[in-house]
Structure 1
Amino acid sequence: MKHDLNQFLKSLGSKPEKEDFASRCNTTFKHLLNIAYGYKPAGESLCINIERETSGKVRCESLRSDVDWSVLRNS
């Protein structure tokens, strides 16, 4: 099942849970919201962190379609 970042962030509970998720992604929750609403792009390393921390629910491809992720996935 594909989830986008906005849906995933809405599924998180309390503010501390949201802040903890952002910290594990090595960013701030405010920055994640900016990405989720399309105000800022996610860097490649952040895309990878988000995919890892969401257990693949939010894929790098949904965050940055301009990057050829297949190169990394096939290596």
Structure 2
Amino acid sequence: MERLRRYLNSLSRADQDDYARRCHTTVGYLRKALSTKPSLDGALARALDEESSGFVRREELRPDIWPELIEAEHA
């Protein structure tokens, strides 16, 4: 979740809104998720990864879904 926080903080407010919209969510939801740390939906984790060009990593948000990506990184 720390990468998501850093990514959001690096964007202007308008760009945050655009990023969230492209991921089919809201900045408010993402900020709440950062503070409560729920298990994000897999589709949302994938969209956050893809729309950030890989900065926000899906396997860090949901290692239970993509363990092979974590293993490949450490190989």
Shift of 1:32: 1.0
The residue number in structure 2 matching 1:70 is: 68
Matches of 1:29 and 1:70 in 2, distance apart? 29
Does residue 1:55 correspond to 2:48, yes or no? no
Runs of 5+ consecutive residues of structure 1 not aligned to the other structure: none
**Alignment TM-score, normalising by the size of structure 2:** 0.76
Aligned residues: 68
Structure 1 range deviating more: 49-58 or 30-39: 30-39
Structure 1 range deviating more: 34-43 or 58-67: 34-43
CA RMSD of aligned residues (A): 1.9
Shift of 1:56: 0.4
**Alignment TM-score, normalising by the size of structure 1:** 0.76
Greater than 6 Å deviation, 4+ residue runs = none
Matches within 5 A, 1:1-75: 4-13=3-12, 15-70=13-68
Runs of 5+ consecutive residues of structure 2 not aligned to the other structure: 70-75
Which structure shows the bigger proportion of residues in helix conformation?
2
Matched-pair identity in %: 31
The answer to whether the 8 Å contact 2:23/2:51 transfers is: yes
